[in-house]
Amino acid sequence: MSSNNDNENPTVTTSQGYPIPSPFETQRVGEHGPLLLQDFNLIDSLAHFDRERIPERVVHAKGAGAFGEFEVTDDITDICGSAIFDTIGKKTRALVRFSTVGGESGSPDAARDPRGFAIKFYTEEGNLDWVYNNTPIFFLRDPIKFPHFIHTQKRNPQTHLKDPNMFWDYMTQNQEAIHQFMILFSDRGTPATFRHMHGFSGHTYKWSNKQGEWFYVQVHLLTDQGIKNFTNEEAGKIAGENPDHATEDLFNAIANKEYPSWTVYFQVMTEAQAKELPFSVFDLTKVWSHKDFPLRRFGKLTLNENPQNYFAEIEQVAFSPSHTVPYQEPSADPVLQSRLFSYPDTQRYRLGTNYAQIPVNCPYAKTFNPILRDGAMTVNGNYGAAPNYISTIENPVEYKTQSNFNYQSNQEKWQGPALPFHWKVEGDIDYVQARALYRDVLSKQPDQQKHLAHNISVHVANALPVIQDRVFEAFAKVDQQLSDDIKAEVLQLSPRSKDQSTQKL
């Protein structure tokens, strides 16, 4: 479509190409008389403007993105047979969108929140999406909790305000969330920019090689810019002064040719090793030990091109963990399995039935699927006269059999009755890694244990005393010192009268 933008002096036209010499004119009766319905330009302009907004993402609504490339630096064909990794030095075009999670499209980039780190690779075998976060774990392992959890992070249905009671009520009822809440309330919960943070698959995925062997893997993208975080107070200040600071930082860095990059690694585990873990390999609230499962480097992701049009290329991009390529598969992690459904479902609502035909979502790889036809906004030619079923009469297509994919012949074997299942674990296992984060990691970083207690306290101080007490109890299961520090600061910030300590929700 010609947009007239290439001309030195573009002519303004209606949407139908009618030239409008004076764009601010309206057709009316006499100088100050009523307007005319025949003024297509006015109606065209107002009607289009009235429809400019589409639903924002239900989560991760605020974000920024850029194009770039993924380069293979090390051979991993012993683990993964995907074409994107088949040759050292091979480069594949990519698009990355970074985001916060809970806020609306205009909310501050500096919010305390996980950051989304979603990547689309335009590979010769179709689009591969890695829809990751900047944290190696997540808040839950039962997918049906996701809408409940997200509601507690968003606005109260009556007050339309963020609500510390809902927020901490959720955490204190769901012990598997405590590890991620600790990451969130450390200074890692307020990264200084999108460039100064890592990305993690979080989930366990399954990769296989061309010999038919398969492996559990987790992917890590480690920032080459180094980690930089804000303190709670710095984040609050910048959120007020420049709510778009990270969006601006990313755009300016790329415009100034300071291209951000990430070195890409994976951890690998066999099925036998997974059976020896003290937790399930499908439990998204746990990390894999780096000592037992060392990082193996295989690539570099570099962002070197700003979008030309934010709405077309970033707002309309549709990522999904179900957009994958041969030799990379989801694992049985139930949260991942649910995500495979949820993303294309929300995109059919957010962008429309034919969201895959939007240029930024179109694979560069050649596609052909005779039954994906019609629907609102069919703009790709709709395969012309080709048959809309697998035809042997007209234009027969030679269908490749699955054998060229050489998928694992040796998959996990599942069996058992179909039962409702709420994933609860016995004993202390949900606290072990949270405790290690506090005692072994944060203790080695200056002031980080204190910052964690402080960042939690200033938030919890706004909750009801009965909720505050539950928070003290929850963190005591991680470490008594952490709980004591939180309690001391909370009670200082929100002193209690006697009757308040027995207040019920």
Residue numbers at the binding site for ligand HEM (CB under 6 A): 57-60, 63, 97, 99, 116, 118, 131-133, 138, 143, 146, 202, 317-319, 335, 338-339, 342-343, 346-347, 350
Residue 41 beta carbon to ligand HEM: minimum distance, rounded to whole angstroms: 34
Q: Which is nearer to ligand HEM, 97 or 459 (CB)?
A: 97
388 Cβ contact list (under 8 Å, min separation 6): 370, 371, 373
Q: Are 215 and 79 in contact (CB under 8 A)?
A: yes
Catalytic status, residue 304 = no
CA distance 490 to 66: 41
CA distance 164 to 465: 11
CA distance 131 to 133: 7
What is the pairing mode between strands 91-100 and 63-72? antiparallel
Identify the sign of the CA torsion 435, 439, 440, 442: positive
CA distance 461 to 220: 35
CA distance 234 to 228: 12
* 5, 7, 32, 60: the active-site residue: 60
Residue 310 beta carbon to ligand HEM: minimum distance, rounded to whole angstroms: 13
Q: Is 251 exposed, middle or buried (0-12, 13-18, 19+ CB in 10 A)?
A: middle
Residue 350 beta carbon to ligand HEM: minimum distance, rounded to whole angstroms: 5
Q: Which residue is associated with the tokens 């060392």? A: 294
Residue 62 beta carbon to ligand HEM: minimum distance, rounded to whole angstroms: 10
Residue 47 beta carbon to ligand HEM: minimum distance, rounded to whole angstroms: 26
Q: Which is nearer to ligand HEM, 66 or 118 (CB)?
A: 118
Q: Which is nearer to ligand HEM, 181 or 343 (CB)?
A: 343
Residue 380 beta carbon to ligand HEM: minimum distance, rounded to whole angstroms: 20
160 sits in the region (left: phi over 0; alpha: psi -120 to 50; else beta) called: left
* 5, 41, 48, 133: the active-site residue: 133
Q: What DSSP assignment string belongs to 50-106?
A: HT---PPPSSS-SEEEEEEEEEE-S--TTT---GGGSSTT-EEEEEEEEEESSS-TT
Q: Which is nearer to ligand HEM, 313 or 489 (CB)?
A: 313
Residue 451 beta carbon to ligand HEM: minimum distance, rounded to whole angstroms: 24
Length reported for the chain:
505
CA distance 265 to 268: 10
Catalytic status, residue 133 = yes
343 is in an annotated binding site: yes
484 Cβ contact list (under 8 Å, min separation 6): none
Name the token pair of 289: 């030990």
Instruction: Give the CA dihedral 328, 368, 65, 146, nearest 10 degrees.
Output: -60
Q: Are 266 and 218 in contact (CB under 8 A)?
A: yes
CA distance 355 to 245: 30
| One-letter amino acid for residue 128 of the chain | L
Residues recognised as catalytic:
60, 133
Which residue ranges make up the annotated binding site for heme?
343
